[in-house]
Amino acid sequence: MNADGMRGGGRTLAAVDPAPEPPRVGPGAVLRQWFHGEHGVAPIVVGLVLVWVVLAAIAPDFLSAENLVNLTLQSVPVGVIALGVVLVLLVGQIDLSVGSVSGLAAAIVAVGTVTAGWPFALGVLVALACGMAVGLVYGVLSTRLGLPSFVITLAGLLFFAGVQLRVLGPLGSINLPFESWFVRAVQQGFLDPRVAWVLVAVWVLAYLGTQIWARERRRRAELSCVPWSQVVLRTGALALVLSATVGYLSTARGVGYSVVLFVVLVIIADVALRRTRWGRSVRAVGSDRRAALLSGVAVHRTVVSCFVACTTLAALGGILAAGRLGAANQGTGGADTYLTAIAAAVIGGTSLFGGRGSAWSALLGVLVIQSVANGLTLLDLDQATRFMVTGAVLLGAIIVDMLVRRRRQEA
């Protein structure tokens, strides 16, 4: 598809050596790119479909619209936390304390609004600000003192679990007023189907528009352009997935407000990671910190920003979890929350070794994990089975990640 004189994919630069490489945009190449490309999400999509097929076969209720609505709602709190984890993993760090921080945020909201009588919005703001402050401390400890984030956040995990208990006080559990707007929005807020369809249309058109616009600019700059067929194909795929989701979920309760919030956060993170200087710095620092520094990237600022984003999202996840439960208790954000969030990020295709991954891996990864949890609950299987199956899925995902890495290094 590289017309003569067009530059890009296959053009060899040296004027004396014009040997044209085969264009890299055929359907096979597109598939290969999906699987092995920088933002390859195809393996996890295939994995998700596999999980669904298996679960549907053994638990026929799994694919019912009502259950899928539940699945989406269940996925949101951990998904928001996993999105933060994706950011710290990308920059080459880790945060083990996301569970404790989310639990603390939930406790702050509950105590502030119920016990101290703050307006709800104030409670949320205070909790988010606390999350932010925690990330700032981590970032400064990590960049100024050079402490490994594994250790810093392990200490944070214990410390903030303690703070959470102290904030909750002797009762250990505080119910949020059922009639508060926040609890209603999280538990019973669903998009009007018409609004949902409008949003789908806006999204698809915006996607198509940016692609056409980018293509036109590239054409004018005489750079290689993706073929129209691919533009159509991609847009069609997006439209299909979105319409199927909205159409099917709307036969039950529909798309929850919290789900919309989560997806919007993922989109913002994705655009920030791929289309801004900050995002480029994050990937550069994550894949080669020293080279990034020598190139003039503000490494410290980038690392701190990721810690702050992560803990803030963790706090938001905790607040959403409290809203969903209608209460904050000692268990909020406890037990396996942080493991689930990290596992979701990794299953979704974000590398534990930094530099590689995408915001979408939070959404896809959490869907896999919650599907397993949800399906096994439908089958009346216990927590034990759930943990074991999730562990196996995580192992599989890491093996795939390793294999992809090795292939790329050999490439």
- List residues binding another protein (CB under 8 A): 7-15, 17, 21, 24, 38, 214, 217-218, 221-223, 275-277, 280-281, 283-284, 287-288, 290-298, 355-356, 408-409, 411
- Mention every residue, 6+ apart, whose C-beta is less than 8 A from residue 386: 372, 373, 376, 377
- Mention every residue, 6+ apart, whose C-beta is less than 8 A from residue 380: none
State the minimum distance, in angstroms, from the CB of residue 284 to another protein: 5
Encoding tokens for residue 66?
């009502």
State the minimum distance, in angstroms, from the CB of residue 178 to another protein: 42
| C-alpha closest to that of 310 among 271, 277, 338, 346 | 338
Q: Which is nearer to another protein, 288 or 336 (CB)?
A: 288
What is d(CA 127, CA 105) in angstroms, rounded to the nearest whole number? 5
State the minimum distance, in angstroms, from the CB of residue 355 to another protein: 5
Q: Which is nearer to another protein, 132 or 272 (CB)?
A: 272
Q: Which is nearer to another protein, 323 or 348 (CB)?
A: 348
| Cα 178 to Cα 45, 118, 174, 187, 327, distances in angstroms | 37, 16, 12, 10, 9
Show the CA angle centred on residue 182, arms to residues 181 and 188, nearest 5°: 85
Q: Dihedral of CA 5/7/8/13: which sign?
A: positive
Q: Which is nearer to another protein, 302 or 390 (CB)?
A: 302
State the minimum distance, in angstroms, from the CB of residue 236 to another protein: 24
Q: Which is nearer to another protein, 144 or 217 (CB)?
A: 217
Q: What are the two backbone dihedrals, phi and then psi, of residue 72, each rounded to the nearest 5 degrees?
A: -65, -40
By CB atoms closer than 10 A (0-12, 13-18, 19+), residue 16 is: exposed
Other Cβ atoms closer than 10 A to 224: 18
State the minimum distance, in angstroms, from the CB of residue 14 to another protein: 4
State the minimum distance, in angstroms, from the CB of residue 376 to another protein: 37
State the minimum distance, in angstroms, from the CB of residue 351 to another protein: 10
State the minimum distance, in angstroms, from the CB of residue 303 to another protein: 14
State the minimum distance, in angstroms, from the CB of residue 280 to another protein: 6
Q: Which is nearer to another protein, 166 or 275 (CB)?
A: 275
Encoding tokens for residue 324?
């969903």
Q: Which is nearer to another protein, 221 or 388 (CB)?
A: 221
- Mention every residue, 6+ apart, whose C-beta is less than 8 A from residue 306: 87, 88, 90, 91, 93, 139, 282
Q: How would you classify residue 355: left for phi > 0, otherwise alpha for psi between -120 and 50, otherwise beta?
A: left
Q: Which is nearer to another protein, 97 or 351 (CB)?
A: 351
| C-alpha closest to that of 112 among 121, 123, 126 | 123
Q: Which is nearer to another protein, 194 or 290 (CB)?
A: 290
The DSSP secondary-structure symbol of 174 reads E
Q: Contact, 14 vs 7, CB < 8 A?
A: no
Show the CA angle centred on residue 294, arms to residues 293 and 300, nearest 5°: 15
Q: Which is nearer to another protein, 144 or 166 (CB)?
A: 144
State the minimum distance, in angstroms, from the CB of residue 343 to another protein: 23
